[in-house]
Amino acid sequence: MTISDYRIEKRTDVGAIGLFMQALIAITLAFVASGLLLTILGFDPVAAFDALHKGAFGTWRNAQGSLIHAAPLAFTGVAAAVAFRARIWSIGQEGQFFAGAMMAYFFTTFLNLPALIMVPLVILAGALGGGLMGGLSGTLKTRFNVNVVVSTVMLNYIIVYLLSYLLTSRIWMAPGEYYLQTDRIPKNARLPDLWPETDLHLGVVLAVLTIIGLHFLINHTTFGFSLRAFGDNAVAAHFKGVAPKRMTLIVLTLSGALAGLGGVVQSFGVDFRLSQTFLYGHGSAGLIVAVIAGLRPLSIGLVAFLFGALAKGGLFMQVMADISSAMISTMQAIILMFFLVTSVLFQYRLRRISQDV
């Protein structure tokens, strides 16, 4: 038996077991590589990972923190997945995340209603803000054929600088504050806690429901079939009755609305004020989550929780092991790298040529 007795062929379907093994191998290799990097840098990897584990799962309150960190990443992750499944390369999750938080906060500046009305209003406002950003990019594409990557990246800059202007010009900046941030969000507009003596808030439930809803929408509805068909072959989908411009506009608007909801969850469930520092990075992290999860909504929930645990545990690593927060970003990049490598490897298999005879 020699190497010539085998050939490499592409798998038709990796399968659930294959996906699980892929994730297990990628995460294991990523942590091994991270441990080697920590050792090279002069840190004790055992102490670092122990601090990471305690910070993420050591207590029930810490585990809640991991879930809370995961919620906005789940929204930006599914936002990217919806667009990418249709082969629309939207990179606007960061700006749409900002836009959702800003639109919701805008309503709180002139409305003061009971929480029963105000909370649903700010949630809808967040979806509206992100949806308008996504819809604008969709309009630029369908009406003027502007490249989606270019328009979404440029809109990211515009909305981020708009928030910067609103703060530096003191239109939204809290009176007497030194840092560039808004006044605290009124209590009647904040996402309520799920029960007393807990940090979990309504945004976590919204994230879970959104993930389940999108899984059903993409895999078990006519619209989901049209979206997937459009992504597989836009020309063939057009002959099956899928209007390309209409689908592009719907997908980008839906993607933007989902990212906008993430901005509301972060600002109205955790920070209770707007600041570039608090909002920054969730869009780009959501892209990584979506890619690692293979653009599958249910997997996005799991990967978002992993990244939420890394973010929460990273705080303990800084304090207990004296490791820079940049190491967490590095670990995220390493995880992404190994997931991409294993995803390619698992698409192929070795097969004996004699089996085909």
Query: For 331-344, what is each residue's pLDDT tens digit?
Result: 888 988 898 888 88
CATH of region 15-356, choose from 1.10.287, 1.25.40, 1.10.10, 1.10.3470: 1.10.3470
C-alpha pair distances (Å), 94 with each of 35, 259, 287: 30, 8, 9
Helices of type H across 8-114: 15-40, 45-57, 60-85, 93-108
pTM of the model: 0.92
- CB under 8 Å, gap of 24 or more: what pairs does 231-238 form? 231/84, 231/85, 231/86, 231/87, 231/88, 232/87, 234/87
pLDDT at 357: 44
Residue 168 in tokens: 């530096």
pLDDT at 322: 82
DSSP string, 269-327: IIISS--HHHHTTHHHHHHHHHHHTTT-HHHHHHHHHHHHHHHHHHHHHHHHS---THH
Domain boundaries, the chain: 15-356
Backbone region of residue 186 per phi and psi (left: phi > 0; alpha: psi in -120 to 50; beta: other values): beta
Residue 336 in tokens: 């992404």
| H or E element at residue 250 | helix 244-266
In this prediction, the residues of the chain whose per-residue pLDDT falls under 50 are 356-357
pLDDT at 104: 98
DSSP string, 194-227: SSTT---BHHHHHHHHHHHHHHHHHHHSHHHHHH
